[in-house]
Chain A
């Protein structure tokens, strides 16, 4: 273990976050094993069944297994977040470096486009885009990615501008390094580190957006097990069966908190100088 990794892992909060995320990831990957029941199996006889040995979290208003739905929900939530992050990174990196390397009119145009996306509040813009594209999981992924990519593009552009004329990059160029190697070996690593820090601080926020849109009925379609949808399903029973709202809510809360803790730890490890007020 390098000293840097050791420093990253030292605070108890980082280890807690990694453990929590590991648990959620494990649940998501092993969903069929962790819970053999079908999360969509309706069984009206077991409506609101209380917790038991074979059904540790009980059943919901349609008699579906709450544990199975929680576990399968982990899978959906993580997949969505990974897709959004991937889109953000790809868009931010490619458009940001295009702006930074090309300069001139291309740069000016791309930055104006970024400005437009940055002017609108994120959740608001996501709502509008879903309104345009229509409800659905895929459209929610597109909408949330569209509201965040501009930050990544701006960061990449700024870093490219700063790195382009650095001595070590020029030195590598003079010693005959080809353009591909120049970028992959010398320009990309520091940019990726910064983007990773930004993504770490952002992931929790994106998860909340996706859950919020699903809760509103604009994201994942109801029979699919997803935590936001589960809360929306259970809302009418908040008086009689509050526990149905507790489980999915706690899962969202804990996962988002773990991502936030990890984001802070990544920032401290990779970039101690960044503004802590983000």
Chain B
């Protein structure tokens, strides 16, 4: 198991390096002259002389490869430069807003997984009943709902009409419910369908027949033999959905005025504040990669066929 994890980590490092290179080069192309940006930020008139001095100061007169290495070195130390807009160090700002986003995403993921398993199970075990049709219909409607619209609908129903929950901001469970529900919807619906189909698939397998033939109680058959095998596609989906949720959080944060890193990045995108975009992108990539790693490890834990591959077994 330890070897499996180490192997996965070894694959991730070149990937992170490649992403950092792509981010560096693409932003350098899009951004134009960083020396100009620096002068604009420091409010120095852009004369030829000032530009030349700024280039030397920023190391722009060196070859691109050397610049990349220098940038990478300071990025690893957490120095991504200063925001063009606020003038404050970018990394600190991103870290400041990050916990709110992680809280929202974790709540949404927990909701999606926590609800999709019982719903999908109920639908599969009572296939073709009214309950099954309701769950299937509901999940079909759910994947077609724009999440920002759903957010406003929830605000309108629960805050404006019923007055049960506060509409905006962060703090306390009652402010977390609506944004988390909005963010989890897509994943919840896809997962519910996935749990249902994969349970139905597993039901037809011969190991289920065998488990029943051994006289195991139905609850054990469902829990140990059907459910555990159905978890594998759900895990894959959860790993993908986590990434979609981190992206979707930008929208949901904007709807609910949630003070997360997504809203911060959105204003940076609108203002073309490149150091912020760069840092946001890399920090999120690291988080995504770590999450994928966690999913891979969980995989290996659930499915021994993956864990034991390449250890001298066929």
Interface residues of A (CB under 8 A from B): 116, 119-128, 130-135, 204, 208, 211-212, 215-218, 228, 231, 235, 238-239, 242, 245, 248-249, 252-253, 256-257, 260, 276-277
Among B243, B254, B277, point to the contact of A216 (Cβ < 8 A): B254
Residues of B within 8 A of A277 (CB): 193-194, 197-198, 233, 237
Residues of A within 8 A of B248 (CB): 123, 212
Chain B, 224-252, CB within 8 A of any chain A CB:
233, 237, 240, 243-244, 246-248, 250-251
Given A116-B18, A124-B243, A260-B140, A215:B251 Cβ within 8 A: yes
Among B141, B160, B197, B198, point to the contact of A242 (Cβ < 8 A): B160
The smallest beta-carbon distance between B17 and chain A, in angstroms, is: 13
Residues of B within 8 A of A128 (CB): 277, 281
In the complex, residue of chain A having the shortest beta-carbon distance to the beta carbon of B156: A242
Q: Flag whether B306 is at the interface (Cβ < 8 A).
A: no
Residues of B within 8 A of A211 (CB): 146, 148
The smallest beta-carbon distance between A215 and chain B, in angstroms, is: 5
Residues of A within 8 A of B265 (CB): 127, 131
The smallest beta-carbon distance between B192 and chain A, in angstroms, is: 11
The smallest beta-carbon distance between A222 and chain B, in angstroms, is: 12
Q: How far is B144's CA from A233's CA once the two chains are assembled, in angstroms?
A: 22
Residues of A within 8 A of B197 (CB): 276-277
B146 & A249 in contact (Cβ 8 Å cutoff) = yes
B148 & A212 in contact (Cβ 8 Å cutoff) = yes
Residues of B within 8 A of A218 (CB): 266, 269-270
Among A134, A216, A231, A249, point to the contact of B272 (Cβ < 8 A): A134
Q: How far is B15's CA from A217's CA once the two chains are assembled, in angstroms?
A: 32
Please report whether the interface of chain B is mostly helix, strand, loop or mixed according to DSSP.
helix
Give 4 A-B pairs besides A128-B277, A208-B147, A216-B254 with Cβ atoms closer than 8 angstroms.
A125-B247, A212-B146, A231-B152, A260-B143
B254 & A238 in contact (Cβ 8 Å cutoff) = no
Instruction: Tell me the count of chain B residues lying within 8 A, CB to CB, of chain A.
Output: 47
The smallest beta-carbon distance between B240 and chain A, in angstroms, is: 7
Q: How far is B218's CA from A103's CA once the two chains are assembled, in angstroms?
A: 51
Interface centre among B144, B243, B244 (most CB of A within 10 A): B144
Residues of A within 8 A of B143 (CB): 204, 260
Given A116-B18, A217-B270, A277-B198, A131:B149 Cβ within 8 A: no
A-B contact pairs, 8 of them (CB 8 A): A123-B248, A127-B265, A135-B269, A216-B250, A235-B152, A238-B160, A253-B149, A260-B143
Query: Interface readout for B275-288 with A: 1 if CB under 8 Å, 0 if not?
Result: 00100010011001
The smallest beta-carbon distance between A32 and chain B, in angstroms, is: 27
Q: How far is B248's CA from A211's CA once the two chains are assembled, in angstroms?
A: 12
Among A121, A127, A212, A256, point to the contact of B269 (Cβ < 8 A): A127
A127 & B247 in contact (Cβ 8 Å cutoff) = yes
B251 & A216 in contact (Cβ 8 Å cutoff) = yes
The smallest beta-carbon distance between A109 and chain B, in angstroms, is: 13
The smallest beta-carbon distance between B248 and chain A, in angstroms, is: 6
The smallest beta-carbon distance between A115 and chain B, in angstroms, is: 9
B152 & A249 in contact (Cβ 8 Å cutoff) = yes
B288 & A216 in contact (Cβ 8 Å cutoff) = no
In the complex, residue of chain B having the shortest beta-carbon distance to the beta carbon of A115: B15
In the complex, residue of chain A having the shortest beta-carbon distance to the beta carbon of B148: A215
Q: How far is B61's CA from A234's CA once the two chains are assembled, in angstroms?
A: 50
Given A121-B244, A127-B247, A130-B269, A238:B146 Cβ within 8 A: no
The smallest beta-carbon distance between A248 and chain B, in angstroms, is: 8
Chain B, 12-31, CB within 8 A of any chain A CB:
15, 18, 22, 26-27, 30
The smallest beta-carbon distance between B173 and chain A, in angstroms, is: 23
Among B140, B149, B272, point to the contact of A245 (Cβ < 8 A): B149
Interface centre among A122, A212, A248 (most CB of B within 10 A): A212
Q: How far is B233's CA from A33's CA once the two chains are assembled, in angstroms?
A: 49
Given A124-B243, A212-B251, A245-B156, A257:B141 Cβ within 8 A: yes
Residues of B within 8 A of A123 (CB): 244, 247-248, 250
Q: How far is B289's CA from A120's CA once the two chains are assembled, in angstroms?
A: 10
Closest 6 CB pairs of A and B: A121-B243, A123-B247, A124-B247, A249-B149, A257-B144, A131-B269
Q: Flag whether B145 is at the interface (Cβ < 8 A).
A: yes
Residues of B within 8 A of A242 (CB): 156, 160
Q: How far is B249's CA from A29's CA once the two chains are assembled, in angstroms?
A: 35
Residues of B within 8 A of A215 (CB): 146, 148, 251, 254
A252 & B146 in contact (Cβ 8 Å cutoff) = yes
Among B193, B277, B284, point to the contact of A124 (Cβ < 8 A): B284
The smallest beta-carbon distance between B236 and chain A, in angstroms, is: 10
Residues of A within 8 A of B148 (CB): 211-212, 215, 228, 231
Q: Flag whether B153 is at the interface (Cβ < 8 A).
A: yes
In the complex, residue of chain B having the shortest beta-carbon distance to the beta carbon of A231: B149
